[in-house]
Amino acid sequence: MLTMEDELIQVFVEVDDLLKEMGHRSHHHAKLSDSEVITIASMKELWHLKTDKASLRLIKEKFGSFFPSIVWLQPLAKTVQTVGCFDERIESKISQ
């Protein structure tokens, strides 16, 4: 069984690799990469957290050093929507 940290790292690597395969690049002014944003959003589901706020709080408290530029909910949600077209492919890759 993986630790939460191991799960987080595994999901990030898989998401980042998949986005690179797809030729996707994050906006150059973004504080967090799209891979980081999708990872954070994915962890909410993987860890069965009820709200985005709860997932952000947990990640900031336990893994803040991994995401030093973490932002609050609204910008995060907007980025998740922007890259949302990748959701099915990412979920498929992560669940393998």
pLDDT, one tens digit per residue, over 23-66 is 877 767 767 788 888 888 888 888 988 887 788 888 888 998 89
Give the residue, 8 or 78, on which the prediction is more confident. Answer: 8
pLDDT at 5: 94
Give the residue, 82 or 12, on which the prediction is more confident. Answer: 12
Instruction: Tell me the per-residue pLDDT of 74-84, one tens digit each, with 9 for 90 and over.
Output: 555 565 555 55
d(CA 4, CA 45): 13
- Cβ atoms of 11 and 94 within 8 Å: the answer is yes
Is the four-CA dihedral 48, 55, 92, 82 of positive or negative sign?
positive
Quick one: pLDDT band at residue 7, thresholds 50, 70, 90? very high
Work out the number of other CB atoms within 10 angstroms of the CB of residue 88. 9
CB burial of 26-44 (b: ≥16 within 10 Å; e: otherwise) equals: beeebebbbbbbbbbbbbb
- Cβ atoms of 70 and 59 within 8 Å: the answer is yes
